[in-house]
Structure 1
Amino acid sequence: MIQTFTFYLFASVVIASGAFTILSRNPVHSVLWLILAFFNAAGLMVLIGAEFIAMLLVIVYVGAVAVLFLFVVMMLDIDFAELRAGFMKNLPLGIALAAVFLAELVFGIGAYQAGNIALGKGGLHPAREGASNIEAVGELLYTRYIFLFEGAGLVLLVAMVGAIVLTNRKRAGVKPQNIASQVRRRPQDAVRNTQPTVGEGVEL
């Protein structure tokens, strides 16, 4: 009973957070709603016994979104005075969201202790009986799906090489790096010890 109620709670918050992520005009608010959606999606993964995927959602996606948040703040002209002015106006909404998040934590812990949600028998099975979630994922990736796993790695490698080639092309007005000269540079050529007296500056 508690698993079903927790599932509907997490799913409802995920859908609502996704909608607010799209509808928010402020990019900072949109990113915060997206982070909330990721946390609730991780809660759904915990409910079905996929702790490894839940940790990936929290560590990879939320961590990446935090970096995205920093880039948004640095690259966009956001009026922080206006954001601070609207703090008291949005305080009831923040308290309500904090209460919902606290309720999710309580119900999520209770549902996890009560046991996983029983899913259908179809689909993927653990690689062997008694294997943990992480062991099952590792054994499936490196046995049954090894070629798909290597193909995904090859696609990422090609994308990385393409990004390097696009950014390393010669452009007018941009001085390229000379890797060989940087490697050959000696410490005594780059650092100079001086002992200036009091009141005198350093000659460059």
Structure 2
Amino acid sequence: MIFDTFTIKSRVRPVPDFPKPGVMFRDITPLYQSPKAMRMVADSLIQRYVEAPITHIGALDARGFLLGAVLAYELNKPLILFRKAGKLPADTLSESYATEYGEAEIQIHADSLEGGERVLLLDDLIATGGTLLAAARLVHRMNAEVVEAAAIIDLPDLGGSQKLQDAGIPVFSLCAFGDND
């Protein structure tokens, strides 16, 4: 299937003033409701990483889980989950970060990585980069490496992809939305 940015972008619903006034929320629910668009997204990411030197897929809570499971299955890689605080049942490591709405915290099971692994971080969207940067800090604390941070959507005007790059983390997204999109 040929990748088509228009197909992906046309399936992302803009929701103004959510979750607070002045924020343009990019809802990917319609994308998941389109088998063609979903297959295009999954196939594009699979093709990008099929021969990449990654050992694990790190999926971010919660929408990153949807694609993370598909990629882990198709690439035959272990899936590790970065969850919101209080959601994991065993021993965890935690990392706080700033969002465009306030403060948050993510956790990972302390035994998810042993050291030396090469992790692809995956989320639905890159906004301010806080969640992905926190996940990268957790990966580094576990003596592993982040190969790349990937998402369906980048919102470059919010600066997250630049912050990731400034931290030495390569970034990939399937499409981007600017302030005027």
Q: TM-score, normalised to structure 1's length?
A: 0.20
After TM superposition, the score normalised by the length of structure 2 is 0.22
Q: Which of the two has greater strand per residue?
A: 2
- Which has the higher relative contact order, 1 or 2, with Cα contacts under 8 A spaced 6 or more apart? 1
